[in-house]
Structure 1
């Protein structure tokens, strides 16, 4: 009889084809004598990461692949991988070789030795840990993010931004319906999504220097982190996606006036045509910003998708503008001294209309 599966190592990937065989070899060495499997969850990488993992999986049944088509996001990829195993314990490790796989046995031993322990976290900031080649600016940004996370955390973690941890699979399955799956910080999502404080242990490791592929860190990642914090603090009051959609709509209104003013005041166009141009520019601005941020997990790509999406978005928002005017005019006619409230009501109706229909017909068709 074969030994029972002890551990699943979940590796979310995007464009990490060169690192796949290296990581499998490192896991094989680190977990010698343990019964484990590796689950690569790939967001349809154009560099063939999923195929590289499949090639190994054909000769090594411990290696499995989940290739996600039409959806992206590190947190959601981790959740899919962690829920796709029969192993009682799951670890999450990056595919870029920057996490220290040699501490995985210590993590597993700790969970197997203490049934009350929920999660073991690889930490760069406890004694013995390190950040490798990080410069002072990156260290400062990480410290700020850690301080910000304490607004929503139920635990005094030294490294809540860590993407390297091991947790009991049953906990993940129980928490999955309550996770927001936003951005790159799945550990923060798990720790804040639990109705009870999770008992944790932090083990030190030193963050390695990337040798293959490109870093995924960018300004959008930082934005997603802030979005995740917002969702935990206020998401039950105003859903995060609607809040983002509305905030971008407000920016679009500013763009509208920035375009309208010069075109009309300088006599370049009549007020009607200046308004039409400003409206199209503002809706185009809103469409592309929403595509990049609000709907990043289902964003449209390629010329055809982008053009179709832009066209439907403009149509939806045009109808929303008519609804805005209609509601505001109706309420104002009913009680003329409430012009401000009438205008706000029209804006609210328009925002809900635009959000609901663009979610369905612009980003929900692909």
Structure 2
């Protein structure tokens, strides 16, 4: 089986948006995307169940795999040798379910686009029900929703409470007419995807929020009740990055893109650097350290603060697993931010020599360094 190898989709899409007119007449009714990350234990069973429940529906299944090893891909390859409707997309330097889903939908051919997890928590029987809901021409998006019939979700403890909090926050900020806007199992018409594609952020793991909040109007939705099953493989993706992504995404959608999620997270890291530098400089000056040395050391503290926040905003699968890897990433980070020393410390010292208050001087130095890094990175991305 041929495997498509791609990079992660970017927040501002560079891939040509699919067009309804370009869908071939022989296109399948359904394109189902399954995003996997180290789920080799579960994906075989999920594909087998789907084969049973989708009999009679013209379909294709696109597995988008972000795993570091080939175990998940090997299971999909083995299944696909006897099931031609299964395709594999392997990504490199990639993470996040939302961007994986967009990569899968961009190469899909179906008239209905759907998504579900590859760890066995979603009941494959739901997909047929979602497709049937979209037989109504007035429906844009059909969602398998927890909390539709009762308050249960299939989750337990902290994960359940966080899910309920995220649902409440999403409803409060966006007014999305769904019982479970954090659901990872839903289907939509290609028409709706084409409408929202260029506005999708591709951030984090809550792709449904991105899909329903990116249109010029609110979508017409249908819902079916569900509870999550026990996970058959893999592990929970819930960590600090998921929470940060959700909050940033909600702000971006609430402000209609005036404050992008990427800019918000960049701002969080910059504020952490500023606070760390203010605190370090204040302590060092209290110890009667010369201003020039205190300023240099405070820049080091700012870099450490920024690096710590970057780690919090890094998906768990890409965080350093040991002290050696942590040290290597720290050195690479410092090398990439070497210009902070002349720009931040140099400019702040110059202002202090001109009798500017050191707090304001540090703020100006941090802003100068961040501007250079932010606009330099954007220029490199455009190139």
TM-score (norm 1): 0.83
Give the corresponding residue for 1:356: 375
Contact 1:89 1:166 in 2 (8 A): yes
Say if 1:73 and 1:297, in contact at 8 Å, map to a contact too. Answer: no
2:3 is matched with none
**Residue in 1 that maps onto 2:154:** 132
Q: CA deviation at 1:320?
A: 3.4
> Does 2:171 align with 1:150?
yes
Structure 1 residue 276 corresponds to structure 2 residue 296 = yes
**Cα separation, partners in 2 of 1:252 and 1:128, compared to 1, 3 Å:** closer
Quick check: 317-326 or 59-68, which moved more?
317-326
Secondary structure (helix, strand or coil) at the match of 2:166 reads helix
**More helix as a share of residues:** 1
User: Are 1:318 and 2:338 counterparts?
Assistant: no
Q: Deviations over 1:23-57 (max 9, x none)?
A: 11110111122222111111143362223212222
Answer yes or no: is the 8 Å Cα contact 2:115–2:186 preserved in 1: yes
Cα RMSD, aligned residues only:
3.5
**Aligned match for 1:287, one of 307, 321, 332:** 307
1-structure distance, mates of 2:170, 2:330 = 35
The count of residues paired between Structure 1 and Structure 2 equals 353
Contact 1:9–1:92 (8 Å) recurs in 2: yes
Alignment partner, residue 87 of structure 1: 110
For residues 298-330 of structure 1, give each alpha carbon's deviation from its aligned partner in whole angstroms, at most 9, with x where no partner exists.
9797676653342121x232343268549969x
Deviations 1:245-287 (A, max 9, x none): 23222222222243344445346x5443333222113213313
Gaps of 5+ in 1: none
The Cα shift of 1:140 comes to 3.1
Separation of aligned partners in 2, 1:325 and 1:257: 12
Report what 1:174 is aligned to.
195
Counterpart pick for 1:199 among 187, 205, 220: 220
1:201-232 deviations in Å (ceiling 9; x for gaps):
01011111213221111122111111111211
Q: Are 2:307 and 2:330, in contact at CA under 8 Å, matched by a contact in 1?
A: no
Aligned to 2:264: 243
The answer for the alignment partner of 2:253 in structure 1 is: 232
1:73 Cα deviation after fit: 1.2
Partner of 1:72: 95
For structure 1, which segment, 45-54 or 66-75, has the greater mean C-alpha deviation from structure 2 after superposition? 45-54
